[in-house]
Amino acid sequence: MPLFGTDGVRGLANGPLTADLALSLAQATAVVLGQGRSAEARRASGKRLTAVVARDPRVSGEFLSAAVEAGLASSGVDVFDAGVLPTPAAAFLIADIDADFGVMVSASHNPAPDNGIKIFARGGVKLPDVVEQRIEHAMSGPKLQPTGAAVGRIRRFADAEDRYVVHLLGSLPHRLDGIHVVLDCANGAASGVSPETFRDAGARVTVIGADPDGWNINDGVGSTHLDKLAEAVLAHGADIGIAHDGDADRCLAVDSAGGIVDGDQIMAILAVSMKSRGALVDDTLVTTVMSNLGLHRAMAERGIHVETTAVGDRYVLERMNEGGYSLGGEQSGHVIMSEFATTGDGLLTGLHLVAEMARTGQSIAELASVMTVYPQVLINVTGVDRERVGDEIVQDAVARASAELGLSGRVLLRPSGTEQLVRVMVEATSEGDAQRHADALAGVVRDRLAL
């Protein structure tokens, strides 16, 4: 099984993801990412390679980041230890100090016992598959073993947080004065920096989920558990609630009545705003095949073209880079604003969302009404041969359901990339129609593709 998954290397800390593995992975990263033209030029001028390392606050991040830093320094790389910061902060800092690469130790929205290692190339960009494969291969090959003055140094990146905050504040088109925001930091990497930044931008801030103890990250709080945020918004009479996940690369919202504003609605709000300000490149939004039909219709009504990709923020980012587009993301709250970030940034997204409220004087519910959310039913059909999803009878069933729904719905069959599983997704104007078609299609998939 490949070491790298869809977002770096992830697993149970001290299970498959050991300190030895982290050290070896860091050493291999130094070998592979130290071979580029810019890295060679740096060495030719007598300078060592540099890397930024950051982590979220889960307890295993302490020993894993230490192992990563040891692996890098032992390979002749100077390390800037940024401590506990969001993933998008690490990506920004790599570009900001012109480091050769960087590493983020985090398992994002996963529970505390898990952890992960994400590697970013120069400029703070995610690695393509082929480079990840080269790093994995290099783990069994020769390592760099400098001695004496050639070994790397490990230094505390003292102004890392300040640099990131200044960057976020500088991106805002409007201050947040007069708006009461409840922030749920998921007891994660945003616990310190997000409240500080929203307050500096002028918002009145109430904070929950910002007391990380190493074990409580994502535990009943954050973007995967919005009930407590909704309760807090109602209890404090706030205008909006913003939820991050453990490493703060996501943002979801709650309106003043406790209603959820998902990633599709957030993208719709930002796309309309950016188009009105001439900031939406080619009037195009990039999102995945899982985005709601309501988003597509709302954008079409406002002259905004929607490009769709496979599921995963890396595929959204690839398409954005290919077309030079400025906005993209996923329903889950990964939103990429490429003018200011190279990856999804939950703080950046939340700040710009609240800034649009301040700019227009509208509530988040009023802004979100730009799109109608169609009922969406998703059924995971397990124990089936995902390779045979093109079966004629299955496809005939899809065609019949699509024809019956017409322009008022949508059907999507998506085989898993890692499991013998097919995902059946149906959207319709009513929950009942969506559920009926989804159940019927799931039955056909189960009968025809059973292993």
> Which residues belong to the annotated binding site?
108, 245, 247, 249
* Residues β-bridged to residue 105: 55, 117
Strand pairing of 9-12 and 49-55?
A: unpaired
Burial of 233 (0-12, 13-18, 19+ CB in 10 A): buried
Contact status, residue 343 vs residue 93, Cβ threshold 8 Å: no
Q: Report the distance separating Cα 249 and Cα 120, nearest Å.
A: 14
Q: Would you call 241 helix, strand, or coil by DSSP? A: strand
76 neighbors 216 (Cβ within 8 angstroms):
no
Q: Which residues contact 204 (CB under 8 A, 6 or more apart)?
A: 178, 179, 180, 181
Residue 439 parent element (H or E): helix 431-449
Query: Is 223 annotated in the active site?
Result: no
Residue 380: strand, helix, or coil: strand
Helix (H) or strand (E) holding 171: helix 160-171
Side-chain-side CA neighbours of residue 239 (13 Å): 21
Residue set of the binding site for Mg(2+): 108, 245, 247, 249
Of 65, 108, 291, 332, the active-site residue reads 108
Instruction: Outline where 219-324 has alpha helix (H).
Output: 227-236, 263-276, 293-301, 313-323
Pairing of strands 252-255, 204-208: unpaired
Q: Are strands 77-84 and 154-156 parallel, antiparallel or unpaired?
A: parallel
Amino acid found at 408:
S
Nearest to 97 by CA among 37, 164, 171: 164
Active site (catalytic) residues:
108
